[in-house]
Chains A and B, each alone.
Chain A
Amino acid sequence: MTETMHHNVHRAQERHHHHTHAHDTRHGGDHHLLQVEDLTISFRRYDDAERGLRRFWSARRKGAAGASEKAGPARSLLATLSVQHEVAVLKGVNLAVHVGEVVAVVGASGAGKTLLADAVLGLFDPHATVRGRLWFDGVEQTAESLRKLRGKRIALIPQSVASLDPLMKVGAQVRGAAHGVEKEQRAARQRELFERYGLDEEVAGLYPSQLSGGMARRVLLCCALMEEPQLIIADEPTVGLDLDRATDALADLRAFADGGGGVMLITHDIELALRVADRVAVFHDGTVVEETAVASFAAPELLEHPFSRALWHALPEHGLRVDGGGANAVSSQMGEEQPC
């Protein structure tokens, strides 16, 4: 009943919590499965590697050679430290994932997409300063509580097989360590998942290097599904797969969402993302500039932000354009930022 009420409040396409909905968006349990608000992550950094440590070392070398530089190593070190400053890599990110939904996070590489994934998984760099609020299944989370959810209710599908242990058979890796009854249960769950995703029983006895790209991708999916998570974060799950395999990979994520889960699909392949996602969060320069229904990508007029429109124009089916319409301003601006 509460769900219905909530739905009455937020109609399709209506803006709330910084985003618009796809027309079939649901609010299970009267809240978002995942909600990120005003997430800012900054790092202490040197101004530039060239001007920072390198300058210090080159100054030292010059000093040793008896060059006339008065500063000397100690002064150079001070100069080096003084250029250290805070750099915000994520700036006030807002994002929501609803139950039953695939939200694609798209944008240039280096825009901070993976950092967002890390934050949702409670993986914070010790040198990072993190601000903002994050709710999972209606409960506000801390770094500590996110750590407990990680791998259980929030699972990651990493980008490559490099995440698997090359010296361990994949069946054992998917099952994980367990004893007694639990071991049996986990073995049964692993077999069930392998069967569901079309992996033969023999695959469990193979090492990661013996898997094809498509098989490896399904093994990583099975790893993520072992603990029956509610939210899956998929980080570039289609890189290196041909179109058929990539489509299969996305279909599996779609099925997971349709079964009542939520998926945050991080990708720079917007063509593929648009086929499977309900909504798209456009990442640009460290923040989500627009969070909108996939339907808005039908025409550039439906997109609000100039960068979203630049993405639209740059799609091959829309002419691979970087100079068309509103895209021009953004592309010249991007030239200076060089996001990747």
Chain B
Amino acid sequence: MLEGRHITYAPDGKTTVLHDVSLTVAPEERVALVAPSGAGKTTLCRILAGYLRPDSGEVLVDGVPLPSMGRCPVQLIGQHPELALDPRMTVAASLAEAGETDAALLERVGVQRQWMGRYPRELSGGELQRICIARALLAHPRYLVADEMTTSLDVVTQARIWAVVLEELAANGAGLLMVTHSPALTQRLATCVVQLGRP
């Protein structure tokens, strides 16, 4: 169980981005997080994946806080792949961070062999996003947080990527938290919808 308990986040002490938000994702569950623009969806995603520390409250996986080092059981895929990869690391080095590689998985996500020696600036946004998705899946997450994961991809690629992601999640019994602007995608994929109110 991935649990966010009573999370409050107020980065500069004045503006409260999140106030006392609690949320749980069970294994094999697919939760869609729905909220108006500016309500803190992305911030919540970053907190749940350990990118940000909440000012109060905690994030637990099976009752244990997220590890401060090593591979995180909660992996985040964001909207801006160009910001998610180290510009000075080759694609191969970035993927190696997730652990052992899996050529078959890379192929299914559409990561090509000839990209391995390239740097992020030598690839397009869509190509980088596939690399980020592959990296998150290679880490065998217990929970995957997908924040507008496929907005920058065309529908055919979107469909193909989601098919792979769902297969991988099912194979590992992992849970999913997704943010999307598309009601049709929510309806198609989510097993439950959580509304995040304004702070």
Report A's interface with B, CB cutoff 8 A. Answer: 48-50, 106-110, 212-214, 239-246, 268-271, 310-311, 313-317, 319-322, 327, 330-331, 334-335, 338-340
Contacts and interface: CB of A to CB of B under 8 A. Distances in A.
B165 to A, nearest CB: 11
Given A50-B114, A245-B37, A271-B184, A322 B159 contact: yes
B182 to A, nearest CB: 6
A214 B37 contact: yes
A107 B37 contact: no
A340 B157 contact: yes
B132 to A, nearest CB: 14
A106 B156 CA distance: 12
Contact of A316 (B79, B157, B182): B182
Interface residues of B, number: 33
B187 to A, nearest CB: 7
B181 interface: yes
Contacts of A330: 156
B152 interface: yes
Contact of A244 (B37, B122, B126): B37
Contacts of A338: 110, 112, 127
Contacts of B127: 338, 340
Q: Which 3 A-B pairs have the closest CB atoms?
A: A340-B126, A314-B159, A316-B184
A71 B127 CA distance: 35
B155 A331 contact: no
A322 B162 CA distance: 10
Interface string B123-166: 01111000000000000000000000001111111111011000
Contacts of A214: 37
Given A110-B124, A242-B181, A317-B184, A331 B156 contact: yes
User: Chain B binding site: helix, strand, loop or mixed by DSSP?
Assistant: helix
A311 B126 contact: no
Contacts of A109: 124-126, 152-154
Interface of B: 36-38, 79, 110, 112, 114, 117, 122, 124-127, 151-160, 162-163, 181-185, 187-189
A73 to B, nearest CB: 22
A108 B184 CA distance: 19
A312 to B, nearest CB: 9
Given A268-B153, A268-B155, A311-B155, A340 B163 contact: no
B129 to A, nearest CB: 9
Given A242-B37, A244-B36, A321 B159 contact: yes
25 contacts: A50-B117, A107-B154, A108-B156, A109-B126, A214-B37, A241-B37, A243-B183, A246-B181, A271-B182, A311-B155, A311-B156, A313-B159, A314-B156, A316-B182, A316-B189, A320-B159, A320-B189, A322-B159, A322-B160, A322-B163, A331-B160, A338-B110, A340-B124, A340-B127, A340-B157
Contacts of A339: 154
Contacts of B159: 313-314, 316, 320-322
A315 B184 contact: yes
Given A107-B154, A109-B154, A340-B157, A243 B185 contact: no
Contacts of B151: 239-240, 269
Count chain A CB atoms within 10 A of each CB in B37, B79, B151 and give the residue with the most: B37
A316 B125 contact: no
Count chain B CB atoms within 10 A of each CB in A214, A242, A246, A330 and give the residue with the most: A242
A1 B43 CA distance: 59
B37 A108 contact: no
Contacts of B182: 243, 271, 316
A331 B37 CA distance: 34
Contacts of B38: 212
Given A242-B37, A243-B181, A246-B181, A334 B156 contact: yes
B79 to A, nearest CB: 7
Nearest to A311: B155
